[in-house]
Amino acid sequence: MHIPRRSVTSTHFEVGEQIKEFPDGFLLWRDGTEDNPHYEGGFAFFTSEKDVRVNHHWFRGSHFDAKTINWKNIQSGEIIENPPVKEKATGASLFVPFMLNPGEEKTIRLQFCWYVPYTDLRKGAELESCCSDNDKSCCYTHQPWYAGKFKSINELADYWRNNYDKLRLQSELFSKTFYDSTLPAEVIEAVAANLTILKSPTVLRQKDGKLWAWEGCRDTEGCCAGSCTHVWNYAQAIPHLFPSLERTLRDTEFNESQTDEGFQKFRASLPIRPAGTGRHAAADGQLGGIMKIYRDWRISADTLWLKELWPEE
């Protein structure tokens, strides 16, 4: 496994970027600052093999020197081990030496995970009171759900290591069950293609567990913010696969995104917070929300949840 530093960060070295030691692998890491905590984060590569050798920094030259020398080492089968350096590491390599006899097979499990507990994402209009002495809500930016579940990238990686087999079996079970169908292949393909959106950057889950989504994604950013009600009004996968998550969208629509007068903004703010007034309502989204509350109650049978939202309808 060979990773140039620039493949995850920028093409020039920035303050705080490092390649660090990590159990059975290496860690691409960037320090945060007091003023910009969202700058902090890391991407770890590791393996379940125990005889692991790591080159934490490639040759430091100019132009393509580092990659040229790295590929020559690969061609010759040379294993290079270098400890981490404090700054300006050009890339890292992970080696797992092994021998195979004729007819033998060996599977090497390579795992990776990332941990960026803060972001600079903030969408939606601000209230007049924002950043007043009594309201600091405009100071908050989106924090991903895993930042509340795991305290560090090491804790996240340990969970990934320890639960790999269970998670793989559950994923295989879902896949086999999904494709074990008499529906036409075209229908299965259409459903499968749309399910992939749930695993894409289009869908976010904030630290408190609530869902929030873009309408879609460009190559480097989300497009059209706010779990738009007259777009997500027609989605059916989440309420049937993850009904408790779907209900968080109703909670947002009828609380933070709705005024006392009943006006419902069809684009929720991120982080989820009172959206204030502005623009026009989307009739299909707001009326669809009432229908979806009934649908979600039928799926969940959670009458207490229905009673809590009923006054807002």
The 10s digit of each residue's pLDDT in 178-218 is 999 999 999 999 999 889 999 999 999 999 999 999 999 99
CB burial of residue 157 (10 Å; 0-12, 13-18, 19+): buried
* Four-CA torsion 284, 287, 291, 293, nearest 10 degrees: 120
Place of tokens 């790999």: 164
Give the integer Cα–Cα distance in Å for 222 and 50.
39
At how many degrees (to 10) do helices 153-162 and 164-179 cross? 60
CB contact at 8 A, 238 and 246: yes
CB contact at 8 A, 221 and 213: no
Estimate to the nearest angstrom the gap between the alpha carbon of 48 and the chain centroid: 23
CB burial of residue 187 (10 Å; 0-12, 13-18, 19+): exposed
Give the integer Cα–Cα distance in Å for 140 and 120.
9
Residue 129 has what pLDDT?
Answer: 60
Give the integer Cα–Cα distance in Å for 251 and 248.
5
Give the integer Cα–Cα distance in Å for 291 and 280.
20
Residues whose CB falls within 8 Å of the CB of residue 142, separated by 6 or more in sequence, listed in order: 119, 121, 122, 204, 206, 212, 270, 271
CA distances from 311 to 75, 207, 254, 286, 303 (A): 69, 27, 9, 15, 13
Cα–Cα nearest to 143, from 282, 278, 271, 44: 271
Residue 16 has what pLDDT?
Answer: 57
Residues whose CB falls within 8 Å of the CB of residue 51, separated by 6 or more in sequence, listed in order: 96, 97, 98
Q: What is the pTM of this model?
A: 0.84
Determine the 3-state secondary structure of 197 from DSSP.
helix
Q: What is the DSSP letter of 164?
A: H
CB burial of residue 75 (10 Å; 0-12, 13-18, 19+): exposed
Give the integer Cα–Cα distance in Å for 175 and 16.
41
Sequential pLDDT tens for the chain (313 residues): 555 554 333 223 344 588 999 999 999 998 887 777 777 899 999 998 888 999 998 888 888 888 888 888 888 888 889 999 887 788 899 999 988 999 999 999 999 999 999 888 999 877 666 656 566 556 788 999 999 999 999 999 999 999 999 999 999 999 999 999 999 999 999 999 889 999 999 999 999 999 999 999 998 889 999 999 989 999 999 999 999 999 999 999 999 999 888 888 999 999 999 877 666 778 899 999 999 999 999 999 999 999 999 887 7
